């Protein structure tokens, strides 16, 4: 499916290694990695994924984006030979492409079972929510290739779990299970393998129930203040709170609360 309009780039006629499914009634878009059996992500695919995230960000039909895969593995990582063939200019853009879920103003869920290695893990780390199962294995195996993670993997992971655990994962190319990832705070939730799709649906529906304006504001605030001193973060939070108080969604939320009814948020 390709009926998106991107404000700055021409979308390809066909997607390379993934598919896109938009359900306007459920206000949901699914980006599905689909290069069996291991869903290897090549260089061109990274560019396309970035463009699709940017297009979905301005698509009024979509409230929540899900990144998932076909088959038993999310992704075994990138196309190794592609790194040898790519130009330095192209390689320098890899982190920007992988960060597309973070820049997207809408909530992005990564739902992964099986292998989630290399750039697959880095893409997941760039999402807002990570749902895993006991079969999920996270890893950054670049040390085995004489390399290091190059698309934000080690940096994002260190923010989540600290330097000691990040060194253990990166410098030893250690694999961590979905259960351990949830215990460490890398994954949002670990659910039984057969319940991954149900848990994803439930999270999508939950996120859709909130004000889209408040969701975008919260995501940007949290991203922007991740490295800020506490005083600056509190100051920015106050400004965002103040702006939201003049929104129609805030008025609707207050009125619905007092009327004991479900709010009808419009994102204004």
- Please give the Cα distance from 68 to 70 (Å, whole number): 7
Going along the chain, which residue ranges are E strands? 18-23, 28-33, 64-69, 108-112, 115-117, 129-132, 137-139, 176-177, 189-190
| Residue 118, both tokens | 């290399």
Q: What local confidence, expressed as pLDDT, does residue 8 receive?
A: 63
Alpha carbon distance 31, 132 (integer Å): 17
Report the alpha-carbon distance of residue 37 to residue 35 in Å, rounded. 6
Strands of the sheet with 176-177, listed across from one edge: 115-117, 137-139, 176-177
Model confidence at 1: pLDDT above 60: no
Mean pLDDT of 184-213: 97
pLDDT tens digit string along 62-120?
999 999 999 999 999 998 766 566 666 666 678 999 999 999 999 999 999 999 999 99
Phi-psi region of 12 (alpha: psi -120 to 50; beta: other; left: phi over 0): beta
pLDDT at site 96:
92
- Residue 54 is a catalytic residue: no
- Give the pLDDT confidence score for residue 228 in this predicted structure: 92
User: How does strand 108-112 pair with strand 28-33?
Assistant: unpaired
pLDDT tens figures, 109-160: 999 999 999 999 999 999 999 999 999 999 999 999 899 998 899 999 999 9
What token pair was written down for 48? 């396309």
Average pLDDT, the chain: 92
Cα separation of 56 and 6, whole Å?
A: 8
Query: Residue 227 contacts by C-beta under 8 Å, 6 or more apart in sequence?
Result: none
Q: Is the pLDDT of residue 36 over 70?
A: yes
**From 14, 54, 142, 252, the catalytic residue:** 142
102 and 164 Cβ atoms separated by less than 8 Å: no
pTM: 0.93
Percentage of the chain beyond pLDDT 90 is: 76
SS3 247: coil
Q: What is the pLDDT of residue 101?
A: 98
Does residue 142 have an active-site annotation? yes
Instruction: Supply 66's token pair.
Output: 């899900």
Block residue for tokens 């008025």: 251
| Phi then psi dihedrals of residue 158, to 5 deg | -65, -35
Q: Considering 27, 122, 206, 252, which one is annotated as catalytic?
A: 122
């Amino acid at each position: 499916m390709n009926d998106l309009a991107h404000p700055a780039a021409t979308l390809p006629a066909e997607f390379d290694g993934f598919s896109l499914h938009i359900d306007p009634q459920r206000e949901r878009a699914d980006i599905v990695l689909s290069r069996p059996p291991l869903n290897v992500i090549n260089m061109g695919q990274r560019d396309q994924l970035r463009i699709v995230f940017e297009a979905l960000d301005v698509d009024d039909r979509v409230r929540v984006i899900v990144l998932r895969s076909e088959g038993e593995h999310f992704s075994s990582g990138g196309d190794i030979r592609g790194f040898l063939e790519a130009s330095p200019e192209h390689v320098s853009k890899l982190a920007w492409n992988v960060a597309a879920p973070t820049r997207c103003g809408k909530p992005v869920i990564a739902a992964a079972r099986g292998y989630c290695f290399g750039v697959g893990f880095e893409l997941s780390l760039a999402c807002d929510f990570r749902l895993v199962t006991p079969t999920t294995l996270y890893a950054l195996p670049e040390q085995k290739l004489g390399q290091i993670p190059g698309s934000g993997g080690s940096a994002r992971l260190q923010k989540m779990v600290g330097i000691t655990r990040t060194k253990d994962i990166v410098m030893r190319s250690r694999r961590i299970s979905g259960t351990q990832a949830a215990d460490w705070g890398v994954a949002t939730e670990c659910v039984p393998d057969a319940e991954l799709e149900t848990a994803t649906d439930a999270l999508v529906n939950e996120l859709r129930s909130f004000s889209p304006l408040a969701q975008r504001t919260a995501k940007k605030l949290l991203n922007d203040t991740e490295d800020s001193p506490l005083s600056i973060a509190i100051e920015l939070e106050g400004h965002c709170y103040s702006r939201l108080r003049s929104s129609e969604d805030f008025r609707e939320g207050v009125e619905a609360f007092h009327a004991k009814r479900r709010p009808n948020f419009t994102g204004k």
